[in-house]
């Protein structure tokens, strides 16, 4: 006859094995990033533009999550709102997470936004945000690959013009793939969620 103690021991071992299996499965599932949506899989790609510190390539940030936004410093509303929400999101990250995240404002107003102007503008929001730009021809090639667009709306010879542009935040994962697409008005909490999902991607 099997003693009660042996039955109890076997039962506890079985329970522990099940708990370990379930726990391991839960950990594995939660450690994996959400799959890239089908409509994003053929968008994006590397590019090189000018920063105040010289040429800057998206590829330079492999291993990090990069937020990319096409805007300009004279933008009256959407651009500063986006930069402000990025900064608030970065503050919510841990120090380790923050070290693996980079914000990139790509100016589509190269006539007014010099690399130095962009450096001063982005530094106002957060040190993890940089600004880059290039020629109008270069910029149009890049935005087309991100299915974005912009139009410089001149009025006569005035320099007080606006730039109409699409307003999305592109979340690039550590492998350089477009992982998520956010509205510019996304709340910091939504940005943090997307960043943490992308940070699960390994090189």
Q: Which residue has 């099940």 as its token pair?
A: 18
The pLDDT score that the predictor gives to residue 36 is: 84
**For 102-144, what is the HEC assignment?**
EEEEEECCCCCCCHHHHHHHHHHHCCCEEEEECCHHHHHHHHH
| Same domain flag for 98 and 169 | yes
CATH at 137 = 3.40.30.10
pLDDT value, residue 23: 44
Per-residue CA distances from 118 to 74, 102, 121 (Å):
11, 15, 5
Residue 79 annotated as part of some ligand binding site:
yes
Same domain for 52 and 5: no
Dig out the tokens for 90 from the structure: 């970065």
Instruction: Say if residue 84 is in the same domain as residue 182.
Output: yes
Count of domains forming the chain: 2
Do residues 105 and 9 both lie within one domain?
no
Q: What percent of the chain has pLDDT over 70?
A: 83
Q: Which residues contact 203 (CB under 8 A, 6 or more apart)?
A: 62, 63, 174, 175
Q: Which tens digits make up the pLDDT trace of 13-49? A: 656 454 444 444 333 345 578 888 898 989 999 999 9
Q: Does residue 129 share a domain with residue 87? A: yes
User: Would you say 75 is a known binding-site residue?
Assistant: yes
Cα 142 to Cα 44, 45, 46, 62, 180, distances in angstroms: 8, 8, 9, 18, 17
Q: Do 8 and 42 sit in the same domain of this protein?
A: no
Q: Which residues of the chain have pLDDT under 70?
A: 1-31, 155-157
Residues 108 and 140 in one domain: yes
Domain that holds residue 3: 1-31
The reply to whether 165 sits in an annotated binding site is yes
Q: Do residues 14 and 66 both lie within one domain?
A: no
């Amino acid at each position: 006859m099997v003693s009660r103690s042996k039955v109890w021991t076997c039962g506890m071992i079985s329970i522990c094995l099940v708990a370990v299996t379930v726990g391991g499965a839960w950990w594995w599932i939660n450690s994996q990033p959400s799959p890239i949506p089908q409509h994003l899989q053929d968008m994006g790609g590397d590019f090189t533009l000018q920063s105040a510190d010289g040429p800057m390539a998206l590829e330079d940030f492999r291993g990090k999550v990069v937020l990319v936004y096409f805007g300009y410093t004279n933008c009256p509303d959407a651009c500063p709102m986006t930069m402000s929400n990025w900064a608030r999101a970065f503050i919510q990250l841990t120090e380790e997470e923050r070290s693996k995240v980079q914000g990139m404002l790509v100016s589509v107003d190269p006539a007014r936004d010099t690399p130095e102007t962009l450096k001063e503008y982005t530094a106002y929001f957060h040190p993890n945000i940089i600004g880059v730009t290039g020629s109008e021809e270069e910029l149009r090639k890049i935005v087309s690959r991100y299915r974005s667009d912009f139009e410089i709306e001149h009025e006569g010879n005035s320099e007080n013009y606006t730039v109409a542009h699409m307003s999305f935040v592109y979340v690039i994962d550590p492998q350089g793939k477009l992982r998520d697409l956010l509205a510019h008005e996304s709340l910091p909490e939504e940005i943090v969620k997307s960043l943490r999902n992308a940070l699960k991607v390994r090189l």
